[in-house]
Amino acid sequence: MIRMLPLLLAAAACARPSLTGQLARATWIDLSYPFDSTTIYWPTAKPFALEVVSARRTPAGYYYAANNFAAAEHGGTHLDAPVHFAEGRHTTDQIPLTQLAGPAFVIDVRRQAEADRDYRITPADLEAWERAGTRIPEGAIVLFRTGWGNRWPDRARYLGTARTGPAAVPELHFPGIHPDAARWLVERKVHAVGIDTPSIDYGQSTTFDTHETLFAADIPAFENVAHLSAVPATGAFVIALPMLIRGGSGGPLRIVAVLPEGAAPE
């Protein structure tokens, strides 16, 4: 029997699906909006701009395309690094990769947000979600689905105003996360938080307490997350990789959800 053990272990290893095989058969869902002239930014932020350097066939006979781009760190689908609202906390390049990839837990609050455009997600929402299914564990990536993604890229409907500049900020209306819920998430030691609105704080916030609470605990945030309707409540694995800006307070984000073979989107 002892001599058979290595053979049995080898056979089990061969039968177990490899990581590459699992990824090859998985469904990949892009949770990012493209960056272009329609990308929504905070009313006071510099929008995305693309300058075409070349898009032509050269005298040597080959085609050559190249562009310059410029934008604020915080706009479109993007990362908020903890230093954004917490002095001395992680900058964009300091966030451990282990916090940017992990099991996703999608909390659906569309009903509440539809009834109140200034809705703030509460601990009661999180606890009700857990009672209906799964406990949110340490290391989770928690994504909030308010339904606001259906309004993209209509600035007036998504932000609450089509105006830009400082005068537009008091006119912002969209759902966010209540500071009490942020404290709840800190206690659970989640790795990251995301939402399908322009900010983890609701539009009418003037103190950004949710930002301060999460970021003081070095928990980064993903904002303007797209296509959460395609991600099940549990079972997906999220990978969220920002532009690696040294010393940055955030940056453009490419975020994807990976659904294992057999898992169906909602």
* Three-state DSSP class for residue 205: coil
Rg of the chain, C-alpha, whole Å: 21
Report the C-alpha gap between 235 and 103 in whole angstroms: 7
Residue 264: pLDDT band by 50, 70, 90 thresholds?
Answer: low
| pLDDT at residue 262 in the model | 72
Alpha helices in the chain (DSSP H): 4-15, 19-25, 110-115, 123-132, 155-159, 179-187, 209-216
Report the C-alpha gap between 238 and 257 in whole angstroms: 4
Structural domains in the chain plus CATH codes: 24-32+74-259 (3.50.30.50)
Strand partners, 220: none
In the chain, what percentage of residues exceed pLDDT 70? 92
pLDDT at 237 over 90: yes
Residue 242: closest CA among 63, 31, 78: 78
Task: For residues 209-214, give the mean pLDDT.
Answer: 98
Residue 193: closest CA among 115, 85, 71, 104: 104
| Cα dist from 15 to 1, 11, 19, whole Å | 20, 6, 12
Please say whether the beta carbons of 112 and 211 come within 8 A.
Answer: no
* Three-state DSSP class for residue 54: strand
Q: Are strands 176-177 and 120-121 parallel, antiparallel or unpaired?
A: parallel
What single letter denotes the amino acid at residue 173? H
Give per-residue pLDDT as tens, 120-163. 999 999 999 999 989 999 999 999 999 999 999 999 999 999 99
